[in-house]
Chains A and B, each alone.
Chain A
């Protein structure tokens, strides 16, 4: 049944991956009484409690704080240089910083620049940031639809998303124009749009797909246009059925297949399983193709973009609106009113906390991102950046503060690792002070999804052990140079 969906020209490569994968999958689904036909990656994965009910029914609201602090580093790559100074007046959408590669940062609100100095940052701890005090002007920019946007050439579209400061909004914050600027010899046949949202608690992508399905679909179309492929799959986990229906209806309504650049677009249901939203796992789930070690998706003919990124692409191309805001899920049992909010980039977490009614009970952890891969914050005065998908306020009962013990060799981490790695061995070698002997156990393949730590009965911080080993290898490579 998977075989039918194979694109032409990929048979040789796919056949190998798919036959072994489909056969194993079939056997597994019989043995484990899985629902037949559900697509997922072949190996490993977990199903943590979703907790999406806290915000799944919360429609996206807007919230504009009285000031924003916009860090100049918000994507992988060189940091931007501030183009404004203290006391400058800026308008919403004005360029306020630009990186050497042309990626720009824009004013999320209109107002006066209060400061350009080092401020707390959710990922980098500290970073140069531009603080703007809100001061609405009479002619707020509205970003109306530009006529003829569909007829724009690929090059113009790419230019717009570069200048619009687009980065992957799923959390990785990789510059979108770089992902969409393909090497001349690349043979891409499929665009995957990632609507999996496999992290617990987060519902911002779900709400976006549900409320703005047409924009998501049109956004996917713009990306397909930019990379020149006529096939697009939108992967959504089966716990988001309403979003699936909304997307399917939108595809029907818009007639994507009869636009000037026709795209065969399909919404594909996947089994709800973490880390389905990881790029490689999604590719495997939807197409059966396996990205080679340290390879890129385009080596198997695929480009992946998140639904929120697709939405932002449309806004950048159709409305000339740069990335100045994003949807953030504010959730957890530790927040009084969980919400989905569209907020300007640079909104401080303290302001969001106040807007959502403050703490509810004893909060022991505040996270930027989901509970699996998100970061614990020490300071609530950090801003929302382009890669911030969620803010979680967790109480003691929701999170894990236990100490860890010795490896008892249960093998659970081997079972759940989606890559077939051996976190147990890596952790033991690191404990023995021999991190440079762990390559054989796959440590360099690890993308830190955290499934291993999640299941470990001894509560071992396996992801951190992996990081220690990876750092040791990086340092070794550096010292050899």
Chain B
């Protein structure tokens, strides 16, 4: 009877079993409906862009873990998740080397230098996108594809404005809204909901983003506090736009609300903090979209609110049970 092999540690000695890796891979799975839909609508480029982006993230992560001598977190799926999310924010006709560079810089500058997994302040995918917007401004705003189910003429790059840019122009000039890139005879809001419109890879289809989010809700990985308050905040600003319903269905609003703003590391962890965080994102999105310099608002809205997270965590602390003490 040897006791040499007995392990010593403090309790609890059992564990629920859901690990960080499991959570990350479930998030990756939840992104698949939107990715498959993008492949159907825009063709093989989206798969290539996604792989390029994931590869950039993995190379950066591997290098950083090597250099800083922290245990590699490459297998836990978190960098793959960052890669897919970055790809989702990119135009589908982007040259393939650009996502690689963007992902590499994003992970190195927004994650590794802060200490790796768990220590970043900003959403990594959105920082990568912001870097790419600054670095490749022309490609990032012109490499769109017209939607067309497989077999249609997807190969031609469609250099035109996205629906948001068109809407913004219409709102600011007061002229009638003329959407391009939507199938001719389709009800515009239905085409926006299904994702039959031009736009970034993962954000065009509200339907498939919500399906993926439902999967996460089912597995209790995300809660509704953040997404609902983002949408509520955005809805408050919708009346100022030219087409409120299309405004709510377009751009990265839903992808941002369910997948970007809910990033554990860069969002508050208490319900009240999450609600304020979400409302802030929604309102800022509306302000940037309606009156700011970019047609897209959610990316910068989330990054700005990321800055406030430490403050929100301090301002909205959980109520401690012992404070309710009822001495007789």
Contacts from A to B (Cβ < 8 Å): 10, 12-14, 16-17, 20-21, 42-43, 46, 48-49, 187, 200, 284, 289-295, 299-301, 350, 353, 358-359, 362-367, 369, 371-380, 392, 394, 398-403, 405-411, 414, 417-422, 424-425, 441-442, 445, 448, 450, 453-459, 461, 463-464, 467
Number of B residues whose C-beta is below 8 Å from A?
A: 45
Report B-chain residues with C-beta under 8 Å of the C-beta of A364.
5-7
- Out of B9, B11, B328, name the residue touching A372 (CB < 8 Å): B11
Among A291, A409, A456, the one with the most B-chain Cβ atoms within 10 Å of its Cβ is A409
**Assembly CA distance A350 to B2 (angstroms):** 11
Is there an interface contact between A400 and B14, defined as CB atoms closer than 8 Å?
Answer: yes
B327 & A292 in contact (Cβ 8 Å cutoff)? yes
Residues of B within 8 A of A301 (CB): 328
In this complex, what residue of A is CB-closest to B116? A406
A187 touches B328 (CB 8 A): yes
Which of B19-27, B54-62, B146-154, B242-250 binds A? B19-27
Among A408, A442, A453, contact of B264 (Cβ-Cβ < 8 Å): A408
- The complex places the Cα of A21 from the Cα of B324 at a distance, in Å, of 10
- CB distance B19 to A450 under 8 Å? no
With contacts A365-B7, A453-B12, A454-B15 known, is A419 near B20, CB below 8 A? no
Q: Kindly provide the distance from the CB of A199 to the nearest chain B CB, expressed in whole angstroms.
A: 10
Closest to A49 in B: B14
Instruction: Return chain B residues, CB-CB under 8 Å to A369.
Output: 11
Contact B12 A409 (CB under 8 A): no
Q: Which A residues touch B15, using CB under 8 A?
A: 400, 402, 453-454, 456, 459
Q: Are B325 and A292 in contact (CB under 8 A)?
A: yes
| Sample (19) of A-B pairs whose CB atoms are under 8 Å apart | A13-B327, A14-B326, A20-B324, A48-B14, A295-B327, A372-B13, A378-B3, A399-B7, A402-B19, A405-B71, A406-B116, A408-B20, A408-B23, A409-B266, A410-B269, A442-B320, A448-B11, A450-B11, A458-B20
Name the residue on B nearest A358 (C-beta): B1
Q: Are A200 and B328 in contact (CB under 8 A)?
A: no
Contact flags B24-55 to A (C-beta < 8 A → 1, else 0): 00000000000000000000000000000000
With A392-B13, A445-B322, A461-B10 given, can you name 14 additional A-B contacts, CB distance below 8 Å? A289-B326, A290-B325, A293-B320, A293-B322, A353-B1, A367-B11, A376-B10, A399-B13, A406-B118, A410-B264, A411-B270, A414-B269, A441-B317, A463-B10
| Distance in Å: Cβ of A96 to nearest Cβ of chain B | 28
CB B266 to nearest CB in A, in angstroms, measures 8
Contact A409 B325 (CB under 8 A): no
A contact residues around B14 at 8 Å (CB): 48-49, 200, 371-372, 398-400, 454
**Are B6 and A409 in contact, CB atoms less than 8 angstroms apart?**
no
What B residues does A418 contact at CB under 8 A?
321
With A364-B7, A379-B3, A408-B20 as contacts: A290 and B269 at CB distance below 8 Å: no
Tell me, in angstroms, the Cα distance from A387 to B266 when the chains sit together. 44
Q: A369 CA to B11 CA in the complex, in Å?
A: 10
Q: Is A408's CB under 8 angstroms from B118's CB?
A: yes
Q: Which residues from B are CB-within-8-Å of A457?
A: 18-20, 22-23
In the complex the two chains form, what is the Cα distance from A377 to B3 in whole Å? 9
B318 to chain A, nearest CB (A): 5
